[in-house]
Every structure is written in C-alpha cells, then in structure tokens.
C-alpha cells in the first residue's frame, strides 16, 4: 500500500461596421482587497448523508487581491535581495491586473510583486502546488527566499511543487520578478492559487465525447512518494444545472507506481434526459473525479464538458452530424483581457450574447482568458483558438500546445489555429487532437484540415468560416 497522507481591456467586438464593445474595458475594475481564503473550487463529491467522501479531498487557497509592487528599471532587485523581502518604497497593486492600469502606466521592463499569506497547519502533511494562471511575459518566482524557478510565456499557466518550502501555520512570502512590455500588456493578469492534496494526485484530466452518452477521459496521476500501492478512481457525471443528481458513476482500481501514472476511462452514460451540446441548447455536464484509497479521499477534480461532435460532410462543417450557419468575427484585443470580478464576467457574457443575437456562431480568439471559454460553453458559441501574434514560429507553436493542454475539454473549441507552421508541426497538431479542425496559414493563405483525416489533405474553406476583415 502507498503511505498516502490524508488529507482590459479595450474589447472591440466588431460585426461589419457595428462595434459591440464597451461591455468589457481596457482594464478590469480594481476589486477590494481579498485576503487569501480556503475555498473548494475543484469539486468535492456530492454530499450523501454522512458520506465521508463529501468532507475530504483537494483544498485551495486563492491569493489574488492586494499585493506589493515596485518597478526595477536598473535590474538590481535580485542583488538587493528583493526575493527575500520587499523594499520599503513598494506600492499596492491588485492581482490579477496589468500594471499599466494601476501602478506603472506606460512602463516596460522588470518589476517585482510580493504577497504574504498563511496556510492551515494541517497542510503540513499535504503535497502543495503553487499555480499561476498567466503572467506576462517572463517571470521568476521565490517562496520564503528560495527560488522555485522561471517561466517564459505570458498567456499560459505554470506551477511549482512547494511542499518542502512552505511554512504551514506561519507567514509565507511569495516574490515574483516579471519582465513585460507595456504595449503587449504586462503583469500577473490571471489568478494565483495554492492547491493542497495527497502525495498522489490528479495532475491532468482531458475529456473527449463521441456520440450522445459516449465519454472518454484521459487522466494523469502523479505519485510524488517513493511507494507503490492500490487506489480507486471514481468518475461521477452530473448535469451542470443539477449537481446533486448523479447521472452515472464509473470506477477503476489502479495500481500506482512512483512518478507519472496514466489511465483512460471509457464511459457510456445512459439516461433518458441526456442532451447534446448545440449552439441553440448548449447542455453542459460535470465529470467529478474522486481519487481515493479506502475511506480517504486523496484528491478531487471537476471538469465541465458537453456531448458534441464536430465533423465534415458534403463540404460543410457539422455539429452532431448537422450543418449550421457560419458567421465569424475576430475581436481585437490590444491588451490581454483581464477578468477579475463578477462584473467582468457579466460584461463578457453580455458581449457574447449580443454577438449570438446578431447571428455570430464562431469567434476567433488568440490565447483567451479561460473565463471567456467557460462563457462560450454556456452561451453556445464556437471558438477558433490560437496563440498570440508577434511571436516566433516555435514560440507560437509551444504556446498553442500549452493552450491545448489547458482548454482541450471545452466543447466550444471548434478549431485550433496556427498562422505559421511547418509540416512537422502540422502533423503534431493533427495527431494531438484528431477530433477538431486545424487552421494553418496567414490571412489570405489559410488551409483547413478536417477532424479524423488521416491523409491530411486540406479542404475548401466554407463560406462564413473566416472572419470578414
């Protein structure tokens, strides 16, 4: 047995000459200080009487809110030990945000962020990861004076295992050095959180749906201990609007070894009231994974999905076997879209709904904020997702791969877009996700590849698929 311890925005949404804008703004409003609070973002299992599974699993500490901030134009912060303590002249900044909107308008260069937080003494027996959803553009991170590592790429998540560097029950200091360009948007512009769970945990989950009721889950479990043992993985399907009513449950016994463990769960969900995800009725479901050993829950994770298939028939793009009207727009985002409050979410949803009412069925978005994809799932509008412009071919390809890992379970993703790709990159993309369309090429020279086409022959791009300039 494993010895597993217990547990921004100037948004111009242009349709022809009509601008459906100002629902989102160049910078999200500054929310009030929100000190770290323990929350349960990743689903706990449904409560059933005194079921102990409902009271254990993953814990999270969100450390958004007010941080300390200071620019470092001479690049002397590290030699002056800013990684261990902030200097006296720092100012406040709200995370997530872009620093040009609050603390350093127009500034390009290096800056530092600091945040103190405490975690429960109970986390002493847990494995803890520190996750940044996105920091633009280059970042280095320290915890309690110890360097955790570096990250380059301003639109994708990264994380560190901080189990041995965290001080449970006492104050901790995280310091982040960021290099950014004011013209592209700079700063910690998406959320920051800590995740506490067992030594063995769910590190990656991706879902693929076939026909109505057919669900395939690819799960990666990391075992950071040196021990092997047996554990159980449960998958529970519920409708998103009825989270307490279980539709289906699957279960697998797993023999875990140290390191990375990969498994696949094929599920046939049966029920009289199952509905496909369509543009008119975007029915959504949650898959709640519960990873346990005996009565102890080691980790939990929730992924939202919809039963839907995109395909190609009679020279038309289809959804669940049927063609649909194609009308695409490409919103212009001069800066990253910061979604930092409930008001921001409401404005984004309103914008998407207005586009849909105007007949738009497809949005082209570069490295979108994850919240925008969740809204597209709920509203019923397709997304063609690509990396940010202005990068080298290899950097864009790497960013798209990271976006794929983050976003692959969203039913709203219709296609992946890469403006510049060589033959090897195209082959990798098609093998990585054979269930979606791939759009390659610069404007005016695009090529479209359909799902499941082993030959890899581009097809004629249907009218309405590409956004009007």
What is the tens place of the pLDDT at every residue in 155-180? 999 999 999 999 999 999 999 999 99
Lowest mean pLDDT among 29-43, 75-89, 378-392: 29-43
Of 92 and 25, the structure prediction assigns the larger pLDDT to: 92
- What SS3 state is found at 360? coil
The pLDDT value given to residue 31: 34
CA nearest to 289, candidates 343, 328, 249: 249
Confidence of residue 20 (pLDDT cuts 50, 70, 90): very low
pLDDT in tens, 208-246: 998 899 999 999 999 999 999 999 999 999 999 999 999
Q: What is the Cα–Cα distance from 281 to 102, expressed in whole angstroms?
A: 40
Same domain, yes or no: 239 and 133? no
In a domain, 12, yes or no: no
Same domain, yes or no: 77 and 173? yes
Among 40-44, 110-114, 224-228, 245-249, the range with the most confident prediction by mean pLDDT is 110-114
Q: What is the Cα–Cα distance from 269 to 399, expressed in whole angstroms?
A: 34
In a domain, 468, yes or no: no
Beta bridge partners of 383: 363, 413
Beta bridge partners of 362: 328, 382
CA nearest to 11, candidates 337, 426, 341: 337
Domains contained in the chain, number: 3
CA distances from 186 to 97, 222, 374, 401 (A): 9, 32, 24, 22
Q: What is the Cα–Cα distance from 311 to 203, expressed in whole angstroms?
A: 30
CA distances from 184 to 99, 180, 189, 380, 459 (A): 11, 8, 12, 30, 34
Instruction: Give the residue carrying structure tokens 């047996």.
Output: 230
Crossing angle of helices 342-357 and 370-379, rounded to 10°: 50
Instruction: Give the residue carrying structure tokens 């979606």.
Output: 436
Does residue 32 surpass a pLDDT of 50? no
Same domain, yes or no: 233 and 349? no
- What SS3 state is found at 364? strand
Of 38 and 321, the structure prediction assigns the larger pLDDT to: 321
The pLDDT value given to residue 468: 76
81's CB contacts (< 8 A; 6+ apart) are: none
pLDDT in tens, 360-414: 999 999 999 999 999 999 999 999 999 999 999 999 999 999 999 999 999 999 9
The pLDDT value given to residue 199: 94
Same domain, yes or no: 122 and 154? yes
Angle at 101 between CA 186 and CA 96, to 5 degrees: 60
CA nearest to 97, candidates 187, 25, 219: 187
Confidence of residue 333 (pLDDT cuts 50, 70, 90): confident
In a domain, 103, yes or no: yes
The pLDDT value given to residue 56: 64
Beta bridge partners of 109: 180
CATH of the domain at 242: 2.60.40.10
The pLDDT value given to residue 210: 85
Structural domain harbouring 103: 33-197
DSSP states along 80-137: TTTTTS--TT-EEEEESS-GGGTT-TT--EEEEEEEEEE--GGGGGSEEEEEES-EES
pTM tops 0.85: yes
4 contacts 296 by C-beta, under 8 angstroms? yes
Does residue 446 surpass a pLDDT of 50? yes
Output the average pLDDT for the chain.
Answer: 88
H or E segment to which residue 428 belongs: helix 423-432
Same domain, yes or no: 339 and 393? yes
CATH of the domain at 84: 2.60.120.260
Same domain, yes or no: 175 and 228? no
The pLDDT value given to residue 415: 98
Does residue 91 surpass a pLDDT of 70? yes
Which tokens hold the place of 237? 């399907």
Same domain, yes or no: 159 and 41? yes
Does residue 2 surpass a pLDDT of 70? no
Percent of the chain surpassing pLDDT 70: 88
Beta bridge partners of 187: 136
Residue ending a domain, among 197, 213, 243, is: 197
In a domain, 7, yes or no: no
pLDDT in tens, 297-311: 999 999 999 999 999
> What value does the CA radius of gyration of the chain take, rounded to a whole number of Å?
23
Confidence of residue 455 (pLDDT cuts 50, 70, 90): confident
């Amino acid at each position: 047995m494993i010895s597993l311890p217990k547990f921004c925005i100037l948004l111009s949404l242009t349709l022809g000459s009509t601008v459906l804008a100002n629902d989102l703004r160049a910078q999200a409003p500054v929310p009030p200080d929100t000190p770290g609070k323990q929350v349960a973002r990743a689903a706990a299992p449904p409560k059933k009487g005194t079921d102990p599974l409902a009271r254990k699993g993953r814990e999270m500490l969100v450390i958004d809110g007010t941080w300390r901030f200071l620019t470092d134009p001479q690049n002397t912060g590290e030699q002056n030990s800013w990684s261990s303590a902030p200097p006296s002249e720092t100012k406040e900044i709200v995370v997530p945000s872009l620093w040009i909107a609050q603390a350093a308008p127009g500034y390009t260069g290096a800056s530092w962020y600091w945040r103190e937080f405490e975690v429960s003494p109970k986390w002493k027996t847990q494995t803890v990861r520190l996750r940044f959803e996105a920091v633009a553009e280059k970042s280095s991170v320290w915890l309690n004076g110890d360097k955790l590592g570096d990250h380059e790429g301003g639109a994708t998540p990264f994380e560190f295992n901080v189990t041995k560097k965290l001080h449970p029950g006492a104050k901790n200091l995280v310091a982040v050095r960021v290099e950014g360009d004011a013209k592209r948007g700079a700063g910690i512009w998406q959320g920051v959180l800590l995740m506490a769970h067992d030594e063995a945990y769910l590190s990656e989950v991706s879902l693929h749906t076939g026909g109505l009721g057919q669900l395939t889950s690819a799960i990666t479990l990391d075992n950071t201990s040196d021990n092997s043992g047996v554990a159980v993985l449960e998958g529970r399907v519920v409708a998103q609007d009825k989270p307490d009513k279980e539709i289906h449950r699957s279960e697998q016994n797993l023999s875990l070894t140290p390191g990375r463990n990969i498994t696949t769960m094929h599920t046939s969900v049966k029920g009289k009231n199952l509905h496909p995800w369509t543009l008119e009725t975007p029915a959504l479901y949650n898959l709640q994974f519960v990873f346990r050993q005996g009565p102890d829950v080691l980790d939990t994770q929730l992924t939202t999905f919809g039963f839907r298939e995109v395909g190609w028939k009679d020279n038309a793009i289809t959804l669940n076997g049927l063609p649909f009207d194609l009308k695409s727009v490409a919103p212009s985002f001069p800066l990253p879209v910061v979604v930092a409050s409930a008001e921001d979410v409401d404005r984004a949803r309103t914008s998407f709904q207005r586009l849909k009412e105007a007949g738009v069925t497809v949005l082209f978005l570069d490295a979108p904020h994850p919240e925008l994809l969740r809204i597209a799932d709920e509203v019923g509008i397709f997304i063609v997702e690509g990396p940010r412009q202005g990068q080298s071919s290899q950097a864009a390809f790497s960013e798209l791969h990271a976006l794929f890992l983050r976003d692959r379970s969203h039913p709203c993703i219709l296609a992946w877009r890469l403006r510049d790709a060589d033959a090897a990159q195209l082959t990798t993309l098609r093998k990585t996700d054979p269930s979606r369309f791939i759009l390659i090429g610069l404007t005016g020279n695009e090529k479209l590849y359909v799902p499941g086409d082993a030959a890899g022959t581009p097809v004629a791009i249907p009218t309405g698929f590409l956004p009007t300039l």
